[in-house]
Structure 1
Amino acid sequence: MNNETAQLINRYLDAYQIVTRRIGARIREGIAEGLTSDQFTILRLIHGQEKCTSTFLAEACCVGKSSITAIVNRLVEAGLIDRTRDESDRRQVYLTISSLGSQVFDEANQNVSEILTPYLLHFDEDQIEQFISMFEKLADLMKESGGQEE
């Protein structure tokens, strides 16, 4: 690794640490009391799916199904999500957000938007789109090949 690459990696790591820690802390503050950031993430993912499964959640969160099951169980117990069995394949279980879950999610999501929006105002729309596109590309590389040439 050459010196320029090392400097870029260090710049990335420095910025990543500040952004993820500070934004993460602010988001945790903005999420409804009693709701963890992992639970908020699960609600957000279920909210965006017509038929959501634990397998989808595990893959989207890059964690094992047992971790998702524990979070889902707590959300079901809290009345925030519902489990529904598929009529044609009783083994298949779908997760949907309940009315209460939708209210809690909407409030938390609004709070998160209010936290992030002031930061975005420092950039024009093209810069935001470019940043998000590059970040999504990095996420795709992480999911697929780990950044290695195939």
Structure 2
Amino acid sequence: MNYYLEVGVLSKDVEHYINRYLDAYLLVTKRINAQIRDSIASELTNDQYLILRLINGQELCTSTYLAESSAVGKSSITAIINRLVEAGMIERNRDEQDRRQVYLSMTDYGRTAFDAAEKQVQEVVSPYLLYFDEKDIEKFIMMFEQLGQLMQETGGKNS
């Protein structure tokens, strides 16, 4: 572990990097989220899009998985799931062997809405990628994925 983090004191360099990261993160996510929200507003909220994206990536998706993956409480996930079920975009399916287990899956309508939103998100993000070399894009994404993996392994805590 980094000595400065271990004793609770940040070096000026680390503090500078953290501030730069936070400034860039907040600017980028605020603007990208607003652009995504505006492009998919007719069908989905950003949170609903995220939930459909997570469901799409799982063969057997549970609300617990969604809560853990999106780092929000189960009650928040339940509210989003209920709205998506009411909109006809997802359905709940009980496990045949364990009726207590409920899996979530997209309906045909949900798949159509998700696919359209995916296309719109790509149209929002892809123009920004034109400003970078492919190797820089790959390096940035790899480092961001490594940060995400580290956070998953540590439970989001700096252990």
TM superposition outliers: structure 1 runs of 4+ over 6 Å: none
**Contact 1:46 / 1:97 at 8 angstroms: preserved in 2?**
yes
Residue 31 (structure 1) aligned with residue 31 (structure 2): no
Aligned to 1:73: 82
**Contact 1:54 / 1:69 at 8 angstroms: preserved in 2?**
yes
Aligned to 2:98: 89
Residue 52 (structure 1) aligned with residue 61 (structure 2): yes
Cα deviation, residue 41, structure 1 = 0.3
Unmatched 5+ residue regions in structure 2? 1-9
Q: Is the deviation greater in 115-124 or in 71-80?
A: 115-124
Q: Is the deviation greater in 92-101 or in 7-16?
A: 7-16
For the residues of structure 1 that align with 2:151 and 2:119, how far apart are their CA atoms? 29
Per-residue CA shift, 1:114-133, capped at 9, x if unaligned?
00001111112221111111
Aligned to 1:5: 14
Residue 148 (structure 1) aligned with residue 147 (structure 2): no
TM normalised by structure 2 equals 0.88
Per-residue CA shift, 1:74-121, capped at 9, x if unaligned?
100000001111111111111000000011111111000000001111
Identity %: 60
Per-residue CA shift, 1:3-32, capped at 9, x if unaligned?
222221221111111101111111111114
Aligned to 2:132: 123
Aligned to 1:108: 117
Residue 15 (structure 1) aligned with residue 2 (structure 2): no
For the residues of structure 1 that align with 2:22 and 2:57, how far apart are their CA atoms? 30
* Superposed CA RMSD: 1.4
**Contact 1:32 / 1:107 at 8 angstroms: preserved in 2?**
no
